[in-house]
Amino acid sequence: MFTITKQFHFSAAHQLNRVPAGHPCGRLHGHNYIVEVVLQSDGVTDQQWVRDFGELDHVKDFLKNEWDHRNLNDWFERFSKWEDGKETETTAEMLAFVLFEAFRSEYPELLAVRVSETPKTWAEYRVSAHNNSAMSTSNER
């Protein structure tokens, strides 16, 4: 099994709306985000790679054009609804999920998307290797 990862960076503000009153994440604040896109394949191409890293620039372009130096709540309010019909929260978990769903058809080898808000915290959305269905995991805050 071959796995490749490419890392991207962007800065953005957000505010969580489903947290208890007084929670610090309920205030508008920002992060220098790190996004990792992980692709996996049983084999390699004729060029002996899973995929040309340059082909992942569509992720970089999306982050730059849609999320970088913006309030993520504005984008999520327009484009993303969660199962309960409410706006999707702009948690690291939901950013990973939205990115995974946005690029899974373009990159069939997509295994996972990881998002970091701080150097010590990561959230990940990935496909289960056993049954190719999606599952979600995250680190404790």
Q: Domain residues for 78?
A: 2-138
Structure confidence at residue 129 (pLDDT): 59
Count of structural domains within the chain: 1
* Crossing angle of the two packed helices 92-103 and 72-79, in degrees rounded to 10: 50
Output the pTM of the full model: 0.86
Helical H segments across the chain, by residue range:
57-62, 72-79, 92-103
* Residues identified as active-site: 25, 69, 117
Please give the average per-residue pLDDT across 115-120, as a whole number. Answer: 96
Give the chain's mean pLDDT: 89
In which band, very low, low, confident or very high, does the pLDDT at 83 lie, cut at 50, 70 and 90? low
pLDDT value at residue 85: 64
Task: Say yes or no to pLDDT of 115 above 70.
Answer: yes
CATH code assigned at 25: 3.30.479.10
* End-to-end alpha carbon distance in the chain: 31
